[in-house]
Copies of this chain bind each other. A is one copy, B any other.
Amino acid sequence: MNMSVVGKSVKRVDTLGKVTGLARYAGDLSLPGMLHAKIKRSNIAHASIKQIDVSKARALPGVKAVLTHQDVPRVLHYGSPHPRSASVTKDQYILDNKVRYWGEGVAAVAAISEEIAEEALDLIEVEYEKLPAAFTVEQALCPDAPLIHDTSPGGNLVMDPVIVTRGDIERGFAEADLIIEGEFKGGRPTPAYMEPNVCLCQWDGNGKLTVWISTQAPFMVRGVIAEVLGLPLNNVRVLVDHMGGGFGAKQDLFQNEFLCVLLARESKRPVRMELSRKETFLSGRSRHPVHVWLKQGFKKDGTITARQALLTFNSGAYGSHAPGVTGVSTASLTSLYRCENVHLEGRAVYTNTPIAGAFRGYGCVQSYYPLDIQMDEAAERLGIDPAELKLRNAVRGDDIAPSGHAVTGHGLEDCIRRGMAEVKWSEVRAQAHETSGAIRYGWGMGCEMHGSSAYPGIKEQGNAIVKMNEDGTVTLVTGTTGLGTGAHTALAQIVAEELGVKFEDVGVVHGDTDVTPWDIGAFASHTTFMGGRAAQMAAAEVKKQLLERAAERLEAAPGDLDIADGMISVKGVPGYQISVREAIAPRLGLPAAHLVGTASYHPTKSYSFAAHFVQVKVDTKTGQIEVVKVVPVHEIGRTIHPVAAAGQIEGGIQQGIGHTLTEDYVIDTTDGHSLNPSFVDYKMPLSMDMPPIHTIIIETAPNPGGPFGAKGIAEDPIIAIGPAIANAVYHAIGVRFHHYPITPEQVLDGLRKKNEAAPRPGIAA
C-alpha cells in the first residue's frame, strides 16, 4: 500500500509542549480555594485498628477535613478499574479497620497547605493490635498461616488456581529423549514512572464531580468512582491530558483517589493529592514476584514433547490484577515455542507486603524468562544452537495462540532469522569465549510474543468520532489516553492517511470522559491497534460522506473517487479533481458540510513478536554485568511512526535491563517494611548506562483487523531482553542464573561455586 502519512516519523503533536513546559499534567493544575491532602500510613504490616483518634488533627488550624475508616463508605471496591472483568479482584475497602501491609493508609487529611496536612498526620493517634503476618509466599501457604482476607477461596489464595491442560503430558514426557526441569524466581521491580500519582477533585453545586488525574483508564476511573459513590456516570467527569508514564500501574485506583474525592466532598473545596516518590513505592503497584517450576521434554531433534509448570505469584496484601496476570502468564506457556502436551498451573497468593499489579509485559515477563532460559539449557544439552532450537519450535501461522485465537503469519521465525543474520550469530557465538583475562564477553538471545488487546480476559471496544471542519481540517475525538508514548500522534496519522489529508490538518481531542466516546483505557498494547482502527473506521465514514458530496460535483460515482494530499480525483482520469475544501463548501442552498463520522470496533486479538539478541560483558573480578549491545527485532504488522515505535522498544529494553540486573523493591521479611522506597536505593539504569540499541522493525505478518495492518508494540520489548541477557551471561562465564535481578554478588558467588565444582586448572593467570 502506498502511504503518505503512515510510516513517516512526523513531528509528534505533544513534543513541543513537553519540551517548553506548556504541556499540562494533572499535577500542574491549581484551583481557587484548593486544599492539599495527605495520607496517614500504617507502620505495621498486619494489625487491627483498635482505636483511631483524630480529634487533635481536626482541631489543628488550617485542617478542613479528616477521614478514617469510620467516615468513608464501607464498600468493597475494585482496586483496579475493570469492574466487570475477571482479571481483577474486589477485596479492598477505601479505609478498613485493619491494615494488611506496611504503609497502608489508615486516615486522610485535607488542609490549606501540604505542611499543615503533614503536621495533622502526626497528630492522629492510632492504636493497633498486631496480628501474625505472612511476608513470603512460603509463609502464606503454610497450613497455619494467618488469614489475610476472609474472602479468599482457601488459605491465602487470591482465587482458584488457573489450570491449562492440552494433550497428554505423561505421554509427552515418555516420548522425550531429554527432560529438563528447574526452578526460577522473579523479583519485585516497580514501574517507577516519572510522574507520581496525582489527582485533583472538585464537586460542583449540582452534585457533579470532576476528577483531574494521571490515569491510563479515565472511563474505568469514572465507572469505579460512580459505582463506589452511587453516582450516575454523567455526574462524574474524569480528565487527563498529558501523563508522565504509567506502565500498567496507572490502570489501578489506589486509596488516594477515593480519599481525595471524599475529602473534597467533605470540605466542599477542591482537593489535590499528590503521592511522594516514597508513596509511589509503598502504595503503588509492582510486578508480581514469582516462583516458577518448569519441566520440559525434548526429542533429539529439538521437538518439545511436553511442558509442565507451576507458577506462584505473590500478590501482596490485595488482589488487584492477580487473576489477570496469573491467567495470562499461565496461558502464555502454551505457546511461543510449540508444544502439544502441556499442563500448567498458576496461583496467586496474598502476603502482608505491598500490592503487585499490572505492569508492562503483564505476566509474560515472569513466564518467558524461565522458558527461554530452559530452551538455552536444552539446546546445550541437545547440541543444537539455541537460536536454531527456538527457530525449529517457533509458534507460527494457524497455531493456537495463548488467547485461543489462531496466530497470523510467521513473525517469530522472521524475527529470529533476521536477528541471526544481523548479528552474524554463528560467528559471534563461536568467538565469544575467546576473550582472555577478567573480562568475558558473551552473546545470548530470547524471544517473546504479546497480544494487542486484553481479549478474552476483558471484552474490548474501540470508539472514535471524526469531525471534518469547513476548511477541510479534521478533528479526531478519541477516548484513548496518551501515557507519553505518542499514541495520539499515531492516531492522527491513521486518520490523515485514511482521509487523504495532511497530518497537520488533523487535531486530536482526548482526555475528557464527558466529551469523548468511551474507551477502555491505555493498556494491553491496544491503543494504536484498537483505538487506531476505530479512528480509521470513523475517518472512513467521513470520507464516504465527503466523496458522496464530491461525486455530485465531479459527476462520477463515489466509488470511482479517491483522496490524496487534500485533492479528490476521479480514479484513472488525471487532472479531473477538486479540493476537499471545495467539496465541502456551501452549495445547493446548504451550508458548508460539517461532516461527522463515528465508529465502534470490537477487536479480537493480534500478536506481535520479537527476538532480542544481546552481547554482555562480565567482569569476573567485580561480578559486574554490562550490556554491550542489543539488537531487537520486532514484527509489528505495520509501523505507524517508526521513531515512536523505536522509542517504545528502547524504553522497554531499558526497563528490561533494569529488571534483569539492578531493580528490586525489597521488603524486609522480618516485619514487612520497605527497604528501598526511593531512587537512591532502588536502582534503575539511567541513559548513561544504556548500551547502543540497533532496532529492527519488520512488517511481515500484518493483522487484517488492525489499522493498515498494525499491531501493538508497547509491552513486547520488556519481555525478551531478560532471558537474552541471562543466556548471554551463561555464554560469557558459563554460570546459569534462574532468577532476576542478577547482582554482582551473585555473579561472584556463581563463579566461585563453578570454580569449586570444576577441576582445578592449576595456578590461575
Which residue numbers of A lie inside 8 Å of B, CB to CB? 13, 16-17, 20, 22, 84, 204-206, 208, 223, 226, 232-235, 458-461, 463, 465, 467, 469-471, 473-475, 477, 504-507, 509, 512, 514-515, 517-518, 520, 586, 589-592, 594, 596-598, 600, 602
Contact = CB atoms under 8 A, between A and B. Distances in A.
Contact of A469 (B17, B22, B234): B234
11 contacts: A226-B471, A233-B469, A234-B474, A234-B505, A234-B506, A459-B589, A463-B594, A467-B517, A509-B514, A512-B515, A596-B600
A505 B231 CA distance: 11
Nearest to A469: B233
Contacts of A208: 507
Contacts of A463: 594, 596
Given A17-B205, A233-B471, A517-B467, A600 B594 contact: yes
A514 B475 contact: yes
Given A515-B515, A590-B461, A232 B505 contact: yes
A84 B204 CA distance: 40
Contacts of A597: 598
Nearest to A11: B206
B591 A461 contact: yes
Nearest to A507: B234
B232 A473 contact: yes
A13 B477 contact: no
Contacts of A17: 204-206
Contact of A84 (B206, B234, B586, B594): B586
Contacts of A204: 16-17, 22
Contacts of A477: 515
Contacts of A475: 234, 514
A491 to B, nearest CB: 14
A372 B233 CA distance: 53
Given A205-B22, A470-B223, A596 B234 contact: no
A596 B473 contact: no
A236 to B, nearest CB: 10
Given A22-B205, A234-B473, A234-B505, 6 more contacts: A22-B204, A84-B592, A461-B591, A465-B596, A470-B518, A596-B598
Given A509-B514, A596-B517, A504 B22 contact: no
A380 to B, nearest CB: 45
Contact of A205 (B16, B473, B518, B520): B16
A305 to B, nearest CB: 34
A16 B206 contact: yes
- When all copies of this chain in the complex are counted, the total is 2
Contact of A461 (B232, B517, B594): B594
Contacts of A467: 517-518
A586 B204 CA distance: 31
A698 to B, nearest CB: 32
A600 B598 CA distance: 13
Contacts of A474: 234
B473 A594 contact: no
Given A204-B22, A233-B473, A475-B234, A518 B226 contact: no
A589 B455 CA distance: 10
Please give me the 5 A-B residue pairs with the lowest Cβ-Cβ distance, nearest first. Answer: A518-B594, A234-B507, A16-B205, A234-B473, A233-B469
A16 B206 CA distance: 6
A56 to B, nearest CB: 33
Nearest to A20: B205
Nearest to A587: B459
A475 B515 CA distance: 8
A518 B469 contact: yes
A474 B234 CA distance: 7
Contacts of A591: 458-461, 520, 602
Contacts of A505: 232, 234
A135 to B, nearest CB: 38
Nearest to A477: B515
A481 to B, nearest CB: 16
Nearest to A506: B234
Contacts of A234: 469, 473-475, 505-507
A134 B692 CA distance: 78
B16 A590 contact: no
Contacts of A512: 515
A474 B232 CA distance: 10
A568 B246 CA distance: 41
A159 to B, nearest CB: 20
A484 to B, nearest CB: 17
A13 B234 CA distance: 13
A514 B596 CA distance: 13
Nearest to A473: B234
A262 B206 CA distance: 38
Contacts of A589: 459
A509 B515 contact: yes
A590 B470 contact: no
A733 B477 CA distance: 64
Contacts of A16: 204-206
A22 B507 CA distance: 30
A592 B226 CA distance: 16
Contacts of A596: 463, 465, 517, 598, 600
A480 to B, nearest CB: 13
A460 to B, nearest CB: 6
A240 to B, nearest CB: 15
A420 to B, nearest CB: 40
Contacts of A602: 590-591
A143 to B, nearest CB: 39
A3 to B, nearest CB: 22
A639 to B, nearest CB: 24
A597 B600 CA distance: 12
A13 B518 CA distance: 23
Nearest to A545: B600
A697 to B, nearest CB: 27
Nearest to A514: B509
Contacts of A465: 465, 596, 598
A355 to B, nearest CB: 26
Select the residue from A235, A458, A470, A512 with max chain B CB neighbours within 10 A.
A470
